[in-house]
Chains A and B, each alone.
Chain A
Amino acid sequence: METRELTCINCPLGCALTVSIDGGNITVKGNTCPRGEIYGKKEVTDPTRTVTSTVPVSGGDIARVPVKTAGDIPKGKIFEVMKEVHAAHAAAPVAIGDVIVENAAGTGVNVVAARDVAAV
């Protein structure tokens, strides 16, 4: 049986969780509310994160356009996604939501622009 110590991030309380993994049987201790149990289980089975960064933009009123993954991606894919973000660039005009990297690192999630950039 494996146990992991986590800090719940749902609220300022920040409960210290102890998650025990026994095959398919996962138990969470140390949580004070049901959200802690959900977080603890997801964090050991399928941890996900939103990734944000910037990419260079040409011909715009600013030098970089902020970008984000349009949804959560698996935590283990963060650096693969970043590799594709680093290789990307955009050309003005850019609108919020424009796809900058399609299906980033095979996650099925697009990297999209997080602000408008006007062409100059």
Chain B
Amino acid sequence: MLGDLHVEILIIGGGPAGLAAAVAAKNAGVQDILIVERDRMLGGILNQCIHNGFGLHTFREELTGPEYAARFIARVKELEIPYLLNTMVMSVGSDRTVTLMGRETGVKKIKADAVILAMGCRERPRGALSIPGYRPAGIYTAGTAQRLMNIEGYSIGKRAVILGSGDIGLIMARRLTLEGAEVLAVAELMPYSGGLKRNIVQCLNDYGIPLLLSHTVVDIRGKERVSGVTIAEVDEKRNPIPGTEQDYECDTLLLSCGLLPENELTRMTNASLSTVTGGAVVNDRLQTDIPGIFACGNVLHVHDLVDYVSEEAALAGENAAAYVKGAGAASGDPEQIRIETEGGVRYTVPQQIDIRNMRDEITLRFRVADVYKDKTIAVYKGEEKLYSRRTRVLAPGEMEQVKLTREKLGDFAPGEVLKITLE
């Protein structure tokens, strides 16, 4: 496997994206694939997501995270796709030379014909939130708390407040409650939740946990261990309103304040990054503007459903396979169609379409900037409306998608762009 220090496709990350990409690449006929995973097991974040609700789209049944992962891990093993555990990728060059380090492999340089970036994301930490107060023990990001409880088996606290209503925070509110802890409140800075509605119902409402919208933590108390936090209401500019402060006595504060695609390695390849998604700029083949380097899953943009991660990653795997067999341009190709966003659409993935090589149908995934009611999602080529769909509610917490066919897109004049907007 590492003898010749060359592989056709090297996949960085053995979570849901990396696994689905590997399976698709192998099924597309590429034999020489290597998955590099830094944890001690495959499956990534799914291992700690012990709740149900995964796989409704992919398998038509509701699975827990470990069960969903197990299905893909079983496929990787059946297909005899090699993988390295406890192995960290240290660098990736634009020439697709990958340096990795592991206890068993030592430091190795491997040349790959194609690289698939599938490193996932991490959580926004306290340092990025500017919460005043002390720095005692008992402050965790929600995902760290989830790992400590569900995999390592630690109890993390008895009375908790959660800041941020991202899905992991909502899931952890229920998890802590079921384990006998008390969750006093979930405070959300924005006037709407960043999490899925079904999680608010099943994780908060079921257990009578209050969701305080337009509220934030303005103080953390405690020298050794958290002893309490202060929550205040915020105005439209998200500034705390004096006089609304409320003290909560608690020993734990969880932070569920957003996920950040983990793109340190992507930067080393010199691939262009989107300032909106934090991930690479890709074309419809999920290729970055560096030839042979593809990206998929949460490292590309943060998803709310793993099913879509698997679908996207499978596409990256197929396209990487096509690339090593000699097809497909990089996304820096000036002939490619740029997709512009307007009217509350924050971004799309992909950001470009390789119109000459595109498949019969592509999926544009995007998020909106605010909660919108009764809007129409519209796609334009110049003045020509190619697509429109009425929606009742759009929210930043729910990823949307639009499918476009090659037939519908037709031919583009030089410099003509595709525009997606809400109206």
Q: Which A residues are closer than 8 A to B by beta carbons?
A: 6-7, 9, 12-14, 32, 49-54, 56, 62-64, 66, 68, 75, 78-79, 82, 86, 96, 114-116
Contact = CB atoms under 8 A, between A and B. Distances in A.
A52 B64 contact: yes
Contact of A32 (B65, B205, B392, B395): B392
21 contacts: A7-B197, A7-B201, A9-B201, A9-B202, A14-B393, A50-B52, A51-B178, A52-B50, A52-B52, A53-B179, A54-B50, A54-B149, A62-B41, A62-B151, A66-B64, A66-B65, A68-B50, A68-B52, A68-B64, A79-B178, A114-B50
Given A12-B197, A52-B50, A78 B178 contact: yes
B67 interface: yes
Interface residues of B, number: 32
Interface string B294-319: 00000000000000000000000000
A91 to B, nearest CB: 15
Interface of B: 41, 47, 50-52, 62, 64-67, 69-70, 149-153, 178-180, 196-198, 200-202, 205-206, 392-393, 395, 398
Given A14-B197, A53-B179, A64-B150, 11 more contacts: A6-B201, A12-B398, A14-B393, A50-B62, A52-B50, A52-B64, A53-B178, A54-B50, A66-B50, A96-B67, A115-B69
A7 B200 contact: yes
A87 B62 CA distance: 26
A78 B198 CA distance: 18
Nearest to A62: B151
Residue among B65, B66, B151, B179 with the highest chain A CB neighbour number at 10 A: B66
Contacts of A63: 151-153
Residue among A12, A64, A68, A96 with the highest chain B CB neighbour number at 10 A: A12
A79 B174 CA distance: 12
B106 to A, nearest CB: 24
Given A12-B196, A32-B392, A49 B201 contact: no
A67 to B, nearest CB: 8
B149 to A, nearest CB: 8
A53 B50 contact: yes
A14 B395 CA distance: 11
Nearest to B51: A52
B153 A56 contact: yes
Contacts of A114: 50, 64, 66-67
A15 to B, nearest CB: 9
A66 B269 CA distance: 38
